[in-house]
């Protein structure tokens, strides 16, 4: 499996292109801005995009959603608890990116522990509320795309509407830290890390 990390948008969001090297079947995770850049990278890697996966509904993770959805003509998957954010600029906190962002509804809602196959790819959904009510991580083997649940030596904000510090810690302890130490974590912002490193070094998890 190939993983391409693209830093996009005014808040330097990590958008990930994940695809099978042989079949080129893949997904786009969190198209947070710079839609032309994302679609050019999709074409450059000859990806056969099967879906867009959203870790949550904040504006900095959906700014290029309509551009990518239209170009690839694929469904959008997310957790139902964050669904209202797509159509409501106030709920998705668009003021952080300086413009009102609204998107069409997601075509499919995912559930905790659901196993989903898209072409030759398969992944498991981990519902990790705390940053937002519908925050999710997507696990492809030992690669986990975490959105704003956990960062390298930090965790997602919980002071925004729908956030809960206690719930986020419970999500991380119950979902992320149960994974093997060598599982790679790909966050919504900043560098990738591992479960083992965060278990030892993350001050919020001490």
Task: Give the domain CATH number at 44.
Answer: 3.60.15.10
Give 31: exposed, middle or buried? Use CB within 10 Å, 0-12, 13-18, 19+: buried
Q: Three-state DSSP class for 63?
A: coil
Give residue 99's pLDDT: 87
Give residue 95's pLDDT: 86
Nearest Cα to 106, choosing from 60, 137, 66? 66
Give residue 47's pLDDT: 97
Give residue 206's pLDDT: 85
* pLDDT per residue rounded down to tens, the chain (206 residues): 999 999 999 999 999 999 999 999 999 999 999 999 999 999 999 999 999 999 999 999 999 999 999 999 999 999 999 999 999 999 999 988 888 999 999 999 999 999 999 999 999 999 999 999 999 999 999 999 999 999 999 999 999 999 999 999 999 999 999 999 999 999 999 999 999 999 999 999 98
* Dist. CA 141–CA 102, nearest whole Å: 33
Instruction: Give the range of the structural domain holding residue 40, as residue numbers without chain letter.
Output: 2-205
The total number of structural domains in the chain stands at 1
């Amino acid at each position: 499996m190939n993983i391409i990390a693209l830093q996009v948008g005014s808040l330097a969001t990590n958008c990930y292109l994940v695809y099978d090297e042989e079949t080129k079947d893949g997904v786009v995770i969190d198209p947070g801005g710079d839609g032309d850049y994302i679609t050019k990278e999709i074409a450059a890697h000859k990806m056969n995009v099967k879906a867009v996966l959203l870790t949550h509904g904040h504006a900095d993770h959906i700014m290029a959603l309509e551009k990518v959805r239209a170009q690839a003509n694929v469904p959008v998957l997310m957790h139902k608890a964050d669904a209202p954010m797509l159509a409501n600029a106030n709920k998705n906190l668009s003021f952080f990116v300086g413009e009102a962002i609204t998107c069409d509804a997601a075509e499919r809602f995912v559930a905790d522990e659901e196993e989903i196959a898209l072409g030759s790819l398969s992944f498991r959904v981990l519902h990790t509320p705390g940053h937002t009510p519908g925050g999710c991580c997507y696990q492809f083997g030992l690669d986990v795309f975490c959105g704003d649940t956990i960062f390298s030596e930090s965790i997602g904000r919980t002071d925004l509407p729908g956030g809960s510090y206690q719930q986020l810690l419970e999500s991380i302890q119950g979902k992320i830290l149960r994974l093997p130490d060598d599982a790679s974590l790909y966050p919504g912002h900043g560098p990738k890390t591992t479960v083992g490193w965060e278990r030892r070094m993350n001050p919020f998890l001490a």
